[in-house]
Amino acid sequence: MSKMLIPLGEGEMQATNGRLIFVAKTLAVKGHTIDIITYSKSVFNFASDVLKEVKSTRVIHVSNQPLNYHHIPSLVNTFIKLTYDMYLPQTDLKLYKVTAFDDFRGHIASFTYPEVDLSAYNMVLLPIPSIEIPPLNDSDIFYSTVCFYAKDNKIPIIGLQVFPVIQTPPIFLTVIDYLIIKEEYEKEFLKEYGFDLDKAFVLNYDMETYFVNTVEDKYLDFLLDPIVEVPKEELAILVINHPRLRFCVKDILEVIGPMNIPKTLFFLKRKFVIRELSEEEIINDLFIDDIKKVKGRSFVMESDAKGNLLMISDIIISPSYLSTLGFAADYNKLCIVYNPLNDKGIFEKNVTFISSKEALRKMVMLGYEKKKLLVCLSDIITSVARRHS
């Protein structure tokens, strides 16, 4: 596994409302060792709090240090010497006279950051700032310092696209060795700058793309604190109970249970009572044996957990159509209505209606095969490490 350094500035953290920290968490869970380094005390405190119980992570704070008083005049003198014989076009006014003490001198920072020892790292994962809102001096110099020492130590730099790819400062495309983007079409932009597309990776694992997304979603926020941790290698299936269509629920469990794939089954209660029988009693009498026989993990969940479960599940199966299915389909979930008595065609966009157990089995397997093709951050890191091994 790789040991990685992630430099973090305030701008990128604020743009994702702190979700960038979960990049470190998800990589650490996969066995990578992650150090976060920042110049910002607020970023340091927030990251330390989020990662306090995550093994193989560390948060480092670095402070800037003032430059020698003579350093700035020395740079100005060097600029004058290099431009002394240059004139503004079609004038006899020397260039240095209008630039040396204004634009040039005004853009020289009065501080720097100490040397960063990168000898222990395999790679640097660098969140890329936006050209729309240029980073302030502290962030700019901080990122430049990390990139300089990474290049000096021949350590690959992986750019992490946070803002829209068209907001990428072109200079970063010459600094980074690899780039993580979120959409396939963004490669068209990279072509214009001659970036090697073989070194551009599309991150399409929804759970992780939210970590680097600047748009906040209260439902996707459940991914930051899932009720159950489901690794990418497992298929998460949510089966919704029904008060009357119990034979359909029985069929669903009989299909899913024996399937020899890594999976986690969630059985969602509906809070109903039938005469003197509670839902709990019906589940224990009719379904609990099938739930226990499921190959893989299985959980009986309260209905209050529905929002969290919808976000962490890959497939949602119900004996009847619910608005919950249409909602989940908008979040790229495979939504299925299984009912052998159903004679309807397509009733709702992106919701699949199935009337046979064999068709249900095939659809679940299709969902599993699609999930295996998704690319997560750990996949990308492993690919880069393999190229440099």
Q: Encode pLDDT of 247-296 as tens digits.
A: 999 999 999 999 999 999 999 998 887 777 788 888 988 999 999 999 99
Domain ranges of the chain: 3-64+112-224+378-387, 74-106, 235-373
Encoding tokens for residue 24? Answer: 């470190």
Encoding tokens for residue 265? Answer: 């089954």
Q: How far apart are CA 96 and CA 262, in angstroms?
A: 68
Residues 6+ apart with CB under 8 A from 324: 240, 306, 310, 316, 318
Q: How far apart are CA 328 and CA 312, in angstroms?
A: 11
**What per-residue confidence (pLDDT) applies to 142?**
94
**What per-residue confidence (pLDDT) applies to 306?**
95
Q: How far apart are CA 127 and CA 180, in angstroms?
A: 10
**What per-residue confidence (pLDDT) applies to 72?**
78
Is pLDDT at 100 greater than 80 in this prediction?
Answer: no
Secondary-structure class of domain 3-64+112-224+378-387 per CATH: alpha beta
Predicted confidence (pLDDT) per residue in 30-88, tens digit: 999 999 999 999 999 999 999 999 999 999 999 988 887 787 788 888 988 998 999 98
Is pLDDT at 134 greater than 90 in this prediction?
Answer: no
User: Which homologous superfamily does the CATH classification assign to the domain defined by 235-373?
Assistant: Glycogen Phosphorylase B; (3.40.50.2000)
Beta-bridge mates of residue 385: none
Predicted confidence (pLDDT) per residue in 307-327, tens digit: 999 999 999 999 999 999 999
Q: What is the mean pLDDT of the chain?
A: 92
Please indicate whether the domains covering 3-64+112-224+378-387 and 235-373 agree at the CATH topology level.
Answer: yes
DSSP 3-state of 265? strand
Beta-bridge mates of residue 337: 318, 353
Residues 6+ apart with CB under 8 A from 126: 6, 7, 143, 146, 147, 157, 158, 159, 160, 176
DSSP 3-state of 237? strand
